[in-house]
């Protein structure tokens, strides 16, 4: 078993049990040379809902309903050929961190205990089942390395507070379903150690081009733990039922938008641990699907693809419920919701963005309404992307994410003195969306201009037909990833399900006569009022997309009795076309 160098420090280990009780164990470790015997376990590891999973009722791989919730249809990539790392906090004894490889979930897989001497952990096994197990999100993954979190933090990989650089990561995805807080000998927060961990992880992500997926903490009242979710370049994950940390960042730049996204609550085990493993599996799928493109293998591209594909539909965008806890919102200076990030994982959306192909900026040509790009920008420079929402269509949702990495300068330590990891100035990349006519921008539609985050996010609902321009600018030279998706539907499809049918008529009728309620409530021409003109738009498009619903009776209903008296007059009124957008942030 590997052991570490490092000064003596005390920590606390918290394990959450099925009864929602936990016990705290004080731990101490001292080591004066590499690979000498360690007297006790180490490092204030707080494992995310690590339950003692006795049977499939309290854990196991995703259910069919889980796959539906995470938006992963059949026949997609499996993560084949993608090598991964799983890091696990010890479950009780220091050696209890390894996967139960005897299960059929792991037949045909090579799972290497890099730390050495590990015994079976039910938490590690459940994470593995959901991540790369034969019935998990990335069943095609066959090459896996497993570390104890203590070993990974110390001489086994990250080499926290040591003179050397971290070990080179040869795997493509790291999963961290654990969190930690450090204390010094007096019980005070050890932010020096925590900062070293965060910066070493950011350094590894850029140096080795690895996707690192990390969990926030369990519990709706918790804030981000010191590590690892405070890092810039990782993908921080919460759970969509709201029972996880709310942001923003608490270390190394306060108030940054975290988490980056959430995953649905699992049927068997609704925890951040499982949510994190699902996002890791989705990352492996994207890496396999983009294997032919060097840019698609970049961690910032994978991050942008996952975040741009996330959906907001599980959350109350319209404020129609009394509670505000389920609302998704953001502002121009706060790119993400502080509990739900960019929204809920939707793997097929992210795969569709990837499949649309890489499309670069150009001054006088368009990109597709969906796509992605990895691009360099100079200090003070600007990049422009034009796209069109076709006539008689609407982008029911438009989602765009820009992501770029924080750069870290590594200076080795002298003798036994720890290395220095110095963050470079973070590029201030901003994105703006404009109306455009003939490749000439006009009105500002939306913008994301945070000065502290290394992500930006635009999100629009019911973007009308027309040309648009996305402008990216930066104060410093940097690379960035851009991913965007337009969910295009025919005008009259008020629920965005891909067909204009009776459900959309009911949507119109239920809101007839109302004003300023938005396209999704029946204002199909977006003139600010739900009236007969909107009925006409719906009726003219009725049945479009209905081939996907062969049992649907293609019969245009009459307007409701309430509407009947006014429809005839309303459709004869000449109304100046006025574009209206309603975006809930």
Inside any domain, residue 584:
no
On whether the CB atoms of residues 93 and 119 are closer than 8 A, the answer is yes
Q: Which of 350, 375, 399 is the C-terminal boundary of a domain?
A: 350
Q: Is the pLDDT of residue 574 over 60?
A: no
| Residue-level pLDDT at 185 | 83
Q: Which of 437, 458, 490 is the C-terminal boundary of a domain?
A: 490
C-alpha 430/C-alpha 57 separation (Å) is 47
| Residue-level pLDDT at 495 | 94
pLDDT in tens, 317-332: 887 888 777 899 999 9
**482 and 549 share one domain:** no
285 closest CA partner among 86, 76, 143: 76
Domain extent at residue 366: 359-490
| Residue-level pLDDT at 322 | 80
Inside any domain, residue 1:
no
**328 and 411 share one domain:** no
On whether the CB atoms of residues 512 and 522 are closer than 8 A, the answer is yes
Q: Which of 327, 350, 373 is the C-terminal boundary of a domain?
A: 350
pLDDT in tens, 87-98: 999 998 999 999
| Residue-level pLDDT at 29 | 28
430 closest CA partner among 389, 395, 480, 486: 480
Q: CA neighbours within 13 Å on the CB side: how many for 83?
A: 11
Q: 356 vs 50, which has greater pLDDT? A: 356
pLDDT in tens, 61-119: 999 999 999 999 767 899 999 999 999 999 989 999 999 999 999 999 999 999 999 99
**470 and 528 share one domain:** no
| Residue-level pLDDT at 184 | 86
**485 and 438 share one domain:** yes
| Residue-level pLDDT at 166 | 98
On whether the CB atoms of residues 559 and 567 are closer than 8 A, the answer is yes
| Average per-residue pLDDT for the chain | 86
Helix (H), strand (E) counts: the chain = 10, 23
**388 and 514 share one domain:** no
Q: Is the pLDDT of residue 460 over 50?
A: yes
DSSP per-residue string spanning 475-519: SS-EEEEEEEEEEEEETT-TT-SS--SHHHHHHHHHTTT-BS--G
Q: How confident is the model at residue 556 (pLDDT cuts 50, 70, 90)?
A: low
Inside any domain, residue 4:
no
pLDDT in tens, 417-426: 999 999 999 9
Q: Is the pLDDT of residue 296 over 80?
A: yes
Inside any domain, residue 381:
yes
pLDDT in tens, 193-241: 999 999 999 999 999 999 999 999 999 999 999 999 999 999 999 999 9
**326 and 279 share one domain:** yes
| Residue-level pLDDT at 321 | 83
The count of domains in the chain is 3
Q: Which of 135-144, 289-298, 313-322 has the lowest mean pLDDT?
A: 313-322
Q: What is the mean pLDDT of residues 445-454?
A: 98
Residue 444, beta-bridge partner list: 434
C-alpha 29/C-alpha 5 separation (Å) is 10
**332 and 413 share one domain:** no
Inside any domain, residue 461:
yes
| Residue-level pLDDT at 554 | 47
């Amino acid at each position: 078993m590997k052991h570490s160098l490092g000064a003596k420090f005390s920590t606390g280990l918290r394990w959450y049990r099925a009864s929602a009780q936990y016990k705290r164990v004080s731990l101490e470790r001292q080591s004066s040379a590499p690979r000498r015997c360690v007297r006790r376990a180490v490092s204030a590891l707080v494992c995310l809902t690590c339950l003692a999973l006795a049977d499939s009722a309290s854990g196991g791989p995703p259910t069919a309903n889980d796959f539906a919730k995470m938006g992963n249809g059949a026949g997609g990539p499996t993560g084949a050929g993608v090598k991964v790392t799983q890091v696990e906090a010890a479950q009780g004894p220091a050696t209890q961190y390894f996967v139960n490889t005897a299960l059929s979930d792991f037949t045909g897989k090579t799972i290497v205990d890099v730390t050495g001497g590990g015994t079976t952990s039910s938490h590690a096994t459940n994470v593995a089942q959901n991540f790369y197990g034969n019935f998990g999100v990335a069943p095609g993954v066959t090459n896996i390395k497993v570390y104890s979190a203590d070993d990974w933090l110390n001489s086994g990989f990250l080499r926290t507070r040591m003179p050397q650089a971290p070990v080179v990561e040869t795997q493509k995805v790291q999963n961290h379903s654990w969190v930690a807080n450090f204390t010094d000998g007096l019980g005070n927060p050890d932010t020096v150690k925590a900062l070293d961990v965060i910066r070493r992880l950011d350094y590894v992500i850029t140096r080795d081009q690895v996707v690192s997926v990390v969990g926030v903490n369990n519990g709706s009242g918790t804030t981000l733990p010191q590590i690892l979710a405070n890092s810039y370049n990782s993908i921080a994950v919460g759970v969509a039922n709201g029972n996880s940390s709310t942001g923003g960042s608490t270390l190394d730049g306060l108030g940054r938008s975290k988490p980056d996204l959430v995953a649905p609550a699992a049927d068997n085990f609704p925890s951040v641990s499982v949510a994190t493993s699902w996002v890791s599996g989705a990352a492996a799928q994207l890496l396999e699907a983009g294997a032919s493109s060097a840019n698609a293998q970049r961690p910032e591209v994978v991050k942008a693809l996952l975040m741009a594909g996330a959906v907001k539909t599980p959350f109350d965008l319209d404020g129609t419920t009394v509670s505000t806890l389920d609302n998704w919102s953001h502002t121009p200076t706060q790119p993400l919701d502080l509990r739900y990030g960019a929204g809920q994982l939707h793997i097929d959306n992210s795969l569709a963005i990837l499949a649309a192909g890489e499309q670069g900026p150009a001054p006088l040509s368009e990109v597709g309404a969906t796509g992605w790009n990895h691009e360099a920008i100079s200090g003070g420079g600007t990049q422009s992307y034009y796209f069109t929402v076709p006539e008689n269509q609407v982008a029911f949702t438009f989602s765009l994410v820009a992501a770029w990495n924080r750069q870290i300068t590594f200076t080795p330590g002298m003798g036994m003195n720890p290395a220095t990891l110095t963050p470079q100035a973070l590029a201030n990349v901003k994105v703006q969306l404009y109306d455009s006519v003939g490749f000439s921008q006009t009105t500002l539609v939306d913008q994301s201009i945070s000065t502290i985050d290394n992500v930006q996010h635009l999100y629009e609902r019911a973007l009308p037909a027309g040309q648009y321009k996305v402008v990216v600018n930066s104060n410093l030279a940097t690379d960035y990833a851009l991913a965007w998706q337009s969910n295009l539907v025919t005008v009259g499809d008020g629920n965005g399900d891909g067909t204009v049918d009776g459900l959309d008529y009911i949507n119109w009728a239920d809101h007839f006569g109302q004003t300023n309620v938005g396209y999704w409530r029946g204002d199909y021409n977006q003139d600010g009022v739900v009236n007969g003109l909107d009925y006409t738009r719906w009726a003219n498009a009725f049945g479009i997309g209905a081939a996907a619903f062969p049992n649907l009776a293609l019969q245009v209903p009459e307007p409701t009795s309430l509407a009947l008296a006014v429809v005839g007059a309303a459709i004869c009124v000449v109304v100046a076309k006025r574009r209206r957008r309603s975006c809930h942030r």
